Amino acid sequence: MQKVLTNLPIGIFDSGVGGLTVMKEVISRLPDENLLYLGDTARVPYGTRSPETVNRYALESARFLISKGIKMLVVACNTASSVSLTLLKESLPVPVIGVVEPGAKAAVTMSISGKIAVIGTEATIGSGSYTRAIESINSHASVTGIACPLFVPLIEEGWTSGDVVTLTAETYLRPLKNNGADTLVLGCTHYPMIREIIKGVAGIPLIDSAVETAGEVKTLLEGRSMARQDAGVSSREFFVTDSIEKFINVGEKFLGHKILTISKIELGG
């Protein structure tokens, strides 16, 4: 790829603030890359919506980032990755990476028994995306999917520790007691924020799809000679479809960095 094109940013989108857990991992592995982040905060959550609606929202978000000039798209949202990845790959002129395949691959590598559990939104679990991705790598694997719809609102309220979130985790993860799963995939952008609680309750190793996806982004950039060649300071720009202030308040906790350059935009009008 020409040097000037390698300077183009990587686009990352999510239904809201949660995809910043993916962006954080991308920053830690690829600090020199320019990044554009779009959080569709006016329409979050995607996880409770129909596939038709998720497809429409995902395409609108992706097209906005394409219009800004990106060299690659990371679909940080597990729900959009589960429902819309094929559509996005077919519709967009840049390489597209979702979070499901990297998470599934890492889970298969980690699991000894082949019994793998996945937690995510209703849409992600309902889509069967992780089950398909895991079984396509290991046809003997057996996957238990558990939808945990209360985690996202709790985490967005800042309830990332304490009795309520622990009790919620105990209730959701009860089916894992004695089911033999030896690996648990965090199949939602928000769950890394409560990973210690989930780990304590589940008592088995966790796979963080955000971490695995960032590794995949690096591999793809290097494999296709798309990594940024300029030595200048990298830029990070954010777009949201709802309140900037709210996004910064919650987002800086997810990202672990300051959010400085941010604009509000309209999608799908």
CA distance 93 to 268: 20
Q: Which is nearer to ligand DGL, 14 or 33 (CB)?
A: 14
Residues labelled as active-site residues: 77, 188
Distance between alpha carbon 256 and the CA centroid of its chain, in Å? 16
Among 34, 129, 189, 213, binds ligand DGL (CB under 6 A): 189
Among 34, 41, 55, 79, binds ligand DGL (CB under 6 A): 79
CA proximity to 73, closest of 215, 186, 217: 217
CA distance 136 to 72: 25
Q: Can residue 103 be called a binding residue for ligand DGL (CB under 6 A)?
A: no
Among 188, 198, 201, 226, binds ligand DGL (CB under 6 A): 188
Q: Which is nearer to ligand DGL, 153 or 203 (CB)?
A: 153
Among 11, 13, 15, 96, binds ligand DGL (CB under 6 A): 15
3-class SS of residue 185: strand
Q: Can residue 14 be called a binding residue for ligand DGL (CB under 6 A)?
A: yes
3-class SS of residue 222: helix
3-class SS of residue 74: strand
Q: Which is nearer to ligand DGL, 122 or 170 (CB)?
A: 122
Residue at 90: amino acid letter:
E
Four-residue CA torsion sign, 163, 166, 169, 174 = negative
Among 45, 102, 145, 251, binds ligand DGL (CB under 6 A): 45
Q: Can residue 18 be called a binding residue for ligand DGL (CB under 6 A)?
A: yes
Q: Which is nearer to ligand DGL, 11 or 47 (CB)?
A: 47
Phi-psi region of 178 (alpha: psi -120 to 50; beta: other; left: phi over 0): left
Smallest gap from residue 237 Cβ to ligand DGL (A): 20
Footprint (CB under 6 A) of ligand DGL, residues 227-256:
none
Smallest gap from residue 43 Cβ to ligand DGL (A): 8
Give the number of residues in contact with ligand DGL, rule: CB under 6 A.
Answer: 18
Among 36, 44, 134, 181, binds ligand DGL (CB under 6 A): 44
Q: Can residue 121 be called a binding residue for ligand DGL (CB under 6 A)?
A: yes
Q: Which is nearer to ligand DGL, 43 or 71 (CB)?
A: 43
Extended strands (E) in 89-235: 96-98, 115-120, 142-147, 183-187, 206-208
Report the C-alpha dihedral over residues 97, 35, 260, 210, rounded to 10 degrees: 30
Q: Which two tokens stand for residue 235?
A: 């830029």
| H or E element in which residue 263 lies | strand 261-264
**Tell me, what DSSP letter sits at residue 71?**
S
Q: Which is nearer to ligand DGL, 7 or 19 (CB)?
A: 19
Among 41, 55, 111, 124, binds ligand DGL (CB under 6 A): 124
CA distance 121 to 235: 31
> Which residues are near ligand DGL by CB under 6 A?
14-16, 18, 44-47, 77-79, 120-121, 124, 152, 188-190
